[in-house]
Amino acid sequence: MQRVLVMGSSGSGKSTFARRLSEMTGIPFVSLDALYWKPGWVESDKAEFGERVAAVVRQPQWVIDGNYTRHGAGELRRQVSDTVIWFDLPRSSCMFGVMKRIASSYGQVRPEMAEGCPEKIDFEFFRYVWTYRRQQRPKLLSYFEGLRADQSLVCFTHRTQANDYLSEIALRQNRASIH
């Protein structure tokens, strides 16, 4: 596991998971949101964003958090990744995650977000999360169809599975350090 994509709905826990995986493995963490957004929640030019992501993807190791499959070097990321972690959680879990995040960090810039983009209440974003399973999930399923047999796809349908996965990695690392 050297080039890992962490994908799924906003509020699913993918950023927290990606940061923890990065910390455990020493593989650099990259947030697509931080590369995409400019201060004041201004969107990047798609070509410029794609170039920034392509530069990251050329690195030998990364844990990339985010979707942006249609731009942001989506095809390149899929092509060179060795592992895809997919948070396929129910809408209620994701909405709860978004509400919890807003409550705990309202007005602050989260670690995985671009500077000048503080957490806010955004009804358009709520609608995006609410409709994610119906509108965005099919696009991810189509994206995953392009994975090769030598690439791993790991799917979590509950946050506890993600925690168990990280615990298993920690256990393997402990065993390896003993031998």
Enter the tokens of residue 74: 């989506």
- Residue 144: per-residue pLDDT: 97
Model confidence pLDDT, tens digit, residues 104-145? 999 999 988 989 999 999 999 999 999 999 999 999 999 999
Packed helices 123-130 and 91-105: angle between N→C axes, nearest 10 degrees: 150
Q: Of 93, 92, 80, whose CA–CA distance to 159 is shortest?
A: 93
- Residue 179: per-residue pLDDT: 66
- Residue 175: per-residue pLDDT: 80
Q: Please, what is the average pLDDT of the chain? A: 94
> Is pLDDT at 61 greater than 80 in this prediction?
yes
Mean pLDDT of 137-162: 96
Mean pLDDT of 16-22: 96
Q: Which domains does the chain have, with CATH numbers?
A: 3-160 (3.40.50.300)
Contact 47, 70 (CB under 8 A): no
Lowest mean pLDDT of 32-36, 168-172, 175-179, name the range: 175-179
- Residue 70: per-residue pLDDT: 84
> Is pLDDT at 72 greater than 80 in this prediction?
no
